Amino acid sequence: MSAETAPVTVTGWGRTAPTAARLIRPGTYEEAAAAVRDCGARGGIPRGLGRAYGDAAQNAGGTVLDMTGLDRIHAIDVDGGTVLCDAGVSLHRLMEVLLPLGWFVPVTPGTRQVTVGGAIGADIHGKNHHVSGSFSRHVLSFELLTADGEIRTVGRGTPLFDATSGGMGLTGVILTATVQLQPVETSLMSVDTERARDLDDLMDRLTATDHLYRYSVAWIDLLARGAATGRAVLTRGDHAPLDALPTRARRAPLAFRTPQFPAAPAFLPEGLLGRRSVGLFNELWYRKAPRARTGELQRISTFFHPLDGVPHWNRIYGRGGFVQYQFVVGPGQEEALRGIVRRISEHRCPSFLAVLKRFGDADPGWLSFPAPGWTLALDIPAGLPGLGAFLDELDEEVAAAGGRVYLAKDSRLRPELLAAMYPRLDDFRTLRAELDPRGVFRSDLSRRLAL
């Protein structure tokens, strides 16, 4: 298949900062190499399925390499539990192929619609970071097309591996990857759900018992105030063993089913997700959750990816789009987390998609986001008055607490805060300068933050 070229408007999943670029969709490694050589003065950036929320996979006036045309699964070691695949293969496709064989992807975020290359470039994390770390921890090696046109095999523990893991596509184009998988007996999850009355109650529960679960996440009501500030619904679980399934389900224990609902309308009225409507939704969501329920069997798609069932769900925020803000602060910074949650609650940010998780050990990627501690992510309509200034203030608090924001979701961080948040930033910049002295790989994110 020949590479396709077209002028397009490109945006992140948040739909906040569209820019125009030339789109090339290579179908072979040779076409990918030719596209890198022909990026032009504004450079190029690889892009997967477009689920980075901000401007990481955009390149105003330059080239965007759509890597979804490279989507072959080359080899599966059923005994050893590894897969060798192209970078454009989605996690959804891996689940379709691997689950019937008794294997699952080692880390998945809140969507299956992420490519393997994107998973490495953003060093994605999921509900199991406190146990399993981020995606790149399970990557054995990858092939990287660098700015000089060379294809390098990059193994774990090397500077280029650590710069590329979380490097947002700025060290080169990942072509293939070999990934270690997670063994499972079924395609169902055994899930425990409980309500927490406030933020302190939630953190106490997570601290005391998170080690008992492979997966853990809390939906948090950021509009609740007073004694209920930070109230939450805590959901935790693990892959269900075969003997936990009812007799009928044991006939096809590894079947992978993904329910689909109607797509969100192309346009919804601005302000539909206001404080009143979101406050009502949050109240109903909290009240309908069980006070304590154990051992519920859920589909993998229900537990991990509920929003994937609604195509184009990002449209619900209207034409103005939304900002997803995610940060992490370390152990001992619980008071900083409490203060930020109180400030968000007092500011009345209408967020119905807000989750709190605990991270485990830091990952080796120089720009990888996860670090030990607490991470909070929330979606906010981009048109909320005063949002930019408010988030700037939160950035300052996060940096002062030794924390950082997630670059794969960012669209507005000020560059002067980056070094405080990412201590290996200078190492990353130095390696990039040596590997790509002409600046072949660039993006809107890299220009904005001087990466």
Q: What is the pLDDT of residues 333-364, one digit of tens each?
A: 999 999 999 999 999 999 989 999 999 999 99
CA atoms of 97 and 187, how far apart (whole Å): 12
CA atoms of 178 and 421, how far apart (whole Å): 30
Burial of 196-213, coded b for 16+ CB within 10 Å and e otherwise, reads bebbebbbebbeeebeeb
CA atoms of 139 and 46, how far apart (whole Å): 19
CA atoms of 349 and 231, how far apart (whole Å): 15
pLDDT at 268: 64
pLDDT at 259: 80
The pTM assigned to this predicted structure is 0.96
Burial of 98-133, coded b for 16+ CB within 10 Å and e otherwise, reads bbeebbbbbbbbbbbbbbbbbbbbbbbbbbbbbebb
CA atoms of 243 and 127, how far apart (whole Å): 24
CA atoms of 358 and 89, how far apart (whole Å): 28
pLDDT at 87: 98
Rounded (to 5) percent helix, strand, coil in the chain? 35, 25, 40
pLDDT at 1: 40
What one-letter code names the amino acid at 56? A
The stretches in the chain having pLDDT less than 70 are 1-6, 267-272
